[in-house]
Amino acid sequence: MNDIPIALDYAHYDLVTPDGTVTKLTRISDQSVEAEVFIEDISRNFVGFQIEPECVFFNIKSTLAQLGLNGIGQTYELDEKNRCAQVKVLLVGIGSLGVEMLNHINPGAVIGKLFAADERRKVRDPDYLARMFGRCDRWGRPLLSLGGLQGSKDLILEKIDGRTVAYLTLQNGTVVYNPSIHHFLPTLGQALMAGYPARDIVRLHQLWKTYTPRNIEENELLLVRTLPLHIRTVFGRVVDSLLSEGYHHTTASILQPDTEASGDIYELYGKSKRELTDIPLEFYTLEPYREHVFFSDRDQLQNCLDDSSSLFQAFTTAPEPQEDRAAVFVVKGEQMLNLTPEDWVLRKTRLHEFPGSAQKERQALMVERYIHQQPSYPFLKSIDDGHITSEGILLTRYFPTPLMKRMLLSDQVQRCLKGIYFLYPSASSNVFFSAEDRALLHDLEKFAIPVYWVDDKTGHILRYSQKPDQDSGMFVPKDKVDLFLKATTFGIYGSNLQEGVFESELKELMQGILAMRDQMTHPLLNIETPIALVTGGGPGAMEVGNRVAKELQILSCANIVDFRQKDCSLVNEQLQNPYIEAKMTYRLDKLVERQAEFNLDFPIFLYGGIGTDFEYTLEEVRRKTGAVKPTPILLFGEKEYWKEKVTSRFQCNLKTGTIKGSEWVSNCFYCIRNAKEGLAIYQKYFLGELPIGKEGPIIDEGFVSLF
């Protein structure tokens, strides 16, 4: 486990080192010098530390190669512990200009770097590159093109010897130097010692001769040109073995992924009368985070996400202890299938007491520090800074703190983050979301960042979903999201202490509703409309409702409150029943808010206590205020029971005039003894024959009784 994973070391790409500095020079001949080159501050994840030494080679700076100086690595000593390397390089002057430049290389000059040609990182499939045509990075720069944004017919991709090779067509003519270059060489020698970039200045001394033949003489340098090459997604490497016979490329053969329009001049030597027509390049992939790969192109990752067992397995690799926060950003399927504890960022949970807005500066500082302590921070910051360029998903043990909202909704993160997967809603309250958590869920939904609960309670992956006309939602099984969004919602209110004797009647009622869909064309009930049933998620009457829904393959939902025993609490502990498929959870202080978010089309009341009385009153208020349209509410049970609960209060309000103008609400409630009576009420409503709403009658008892 890491505070910052090794994969987030962005000092250099993992296939290359920083440029090395000459520490010693030994003259071999007029045309060659042996240079000892020291390279330090190598990235700790440099691939060259792990692969065979013969796959690591020295790459001379292209500025020197264009002047006729080649650098051939002779011996390599890599020190992983101290993150450095010592390399002996044979510097060879090609042509008179190269020999002259050799005299201006001195100790302290920066002349090149190491490249790790890892066979595992070779691009095998041409489609990997072809799909980058026409795509740009966040700054509008082409990810891959030769010439224009859409690529070019002059870039030919083929599969040769098991890897992708691009043939870059050469333009007519060659590059030569004007005489002023000789006066510039001493300055270039000084620039190399100061680490000053000089390639663009060298280009000022170059001339393009359009009609010069592209063949090569021994001991001479041939500079040829292609259309401007842009690569952002891979390393390119000239394949010397695929050049025409007699041609060789200098060791400045690596094109880095920050190559824009400058990768267009190639330096060759050898002997041939045949004209060179193209330059062959092979390619090596970047670290997964930096590949600029789109989520839609990650077939293996998407297959993993469709397999719930892969997600549950991925979370088992998160480091202990469980009470600490942990997160990892995943961009490819292979990465997800091979996660280790070292890939995760682990942060200890620290509780903060924020001073509040009265101490603005201290509050702001503490919030910023708290954000930096979150395990997702290094990943989100890297996305925002442009270090992570591939789209992917965030796995996090706990749902992100709402204080991360600013980062989660930033432009770059919103574009790059294609899903948040978490195990637990809260480090402090376990499965119960706070009001701020739900607000963040709402915002993430609006910004099209999907959120998934890897729920060990149900054993399913649940996606947060909101109906279009509502500002609250539920976590729903992935394969039932569309059903949830379209569903007409029935709901069960009742005691968490008693199941009552309503199960068979409730089952018959719901079966009748399912059958009734074939006959109705009402917006809330028709053959195209699925059905969902919502309860409070606890035992008793609520368990009856969820059990019936599950048996009838109706989407079984629950809004669950944290009723765990509190000090001085008189609320009985309420356990979640085992028949729930979709859910939202609430802390006890947001009980009223939770109740408002039931959003039931058709409430059904069973026997219940104080909580049920509260729910009854709230459904009255929702209809009175117009928050919902008048729909029939069923009261299951004997008339005398509901009369004792409802009538005296309604008549008191009626007598005192405190419900003047709202008396009609009484015609929304229907006392029934069995499913048959309930179905008769629903049928009249869906046919438009039920006298309900403001134009309907006032019922003296506060509800309609059919018997």
Tens digit of each residue's pLDDT (9 = 90 or more) over 357-400: 778 888 888 888 899 999 999 999 999 999 999 999 999 999 99
Confidence of residue 611 (pLDDT cuts 50, 70, 90): confident
Domain with CATH 2.40.30 in the chain: 6-120
Q: Which of 95, 453, 97, 389 is nearest to 234 (CA)?
A: 389
What pLDDT, on the 0 to 100 scale, is given for residue 593?
Answer: 86
Q: Please give the CATH number for the structural domain made up of 481-707.
A: 3.40.50.450
Task: Look at the pTM and tell me if it is higher than 0.85.
Answer: yes
Domain with CATH 3.40.140 in the chain: 293-456
Q: Which CATH number fits domain 126-173+213-288: 2.60.120, 1.10.150, 1.10.12, 2.70.40?
A: 2.70.40
Confidence of residue 138 (pLDDT cuts 50, 70, 90): confident
Question: What is the pLDDT averaged over residues 504-530?
Answer: 95
Confidence of residue 278 (pLDDT cuts 50, 70, 90): very high
CB 323 within 8 A of CB 375: no
Per-residue model confidence as pLDDT tens digits over 315-368: 999 999 999 999 999 999 999 999 999 999 999 876 667 777 778 888 888 888
Confidence of residue 689 (pLDDT cuts 50, 70, 90): very high
What pLDDT, on the 0 to 100 scale, is given for residue 569?
Answer: 53
DSSP string, 208-259: EETT----B-TT--EEEEBSPEEESSEEEEE-GGGSPTTEEE-S--EE-TT-
What pLDDT, on the 0 to 100 scale, is given for residue 228?
Answer: 83
* Average confidence score pLDDT of the chain: 91
**Is residue 490's pLDDT more than 50?**
yes
Confidence of residue 671 (pLDDT cuts 50, 70, 90): very high
The neighbouring-strand residues paired with 176 are: 207
Per-residue model confidence as pLDDT tens digits over 171-220: 999 999 999 999 999 999 999 999 888 888 999 999 999 888 898 989 89
| Lowest mean pLDDT, pick from 299-303, 596-600, 678-682 | 596-600
**Is residue 151's pLDDT more than 80?**
no
**Is residue 1's pLDDT more than 50?**
no
Q: Which CATH number fits domain 293-456: 3.40.50, 3.40.140, 1.10.40, 2.40.30?
A: 3.40.140
What pLDDT, on the 0 to 100 scale, is given for residue 352?
Answer: 67
What pLDDT, on the 0 to 100 scale, is given for residue 590?
Answer: 86
The angle at the Cα of 228, spanning 226 to 230, to the nearest 5 degrees, equals 125
Distance CA 216, CA 307 (A): 58
DSSP string, 287-308: -GGGS---GGG-HHHHHHHH-H
| Lowest mean pLDDT, pick from 6-15, 52-61, 596-605 | 6-15
Q: Which CATH number fits domain 6-120: 3.40.50, 2.40.30, 2.40.10, 2.60.98?
A: 2.40.30
Per-residue model confidence as pLDDT tens digits over 212-229: 889 898 989 999 998 888
Q: Which amino acid is at 295?
A: F
Domain with CATH 3.40.50.450 in the chain: 481-707
Distance CA 139, CA 137 (A): 5
What pLDDT, on the 0 to 100 scale, is given for residue 132?
Answer: 85
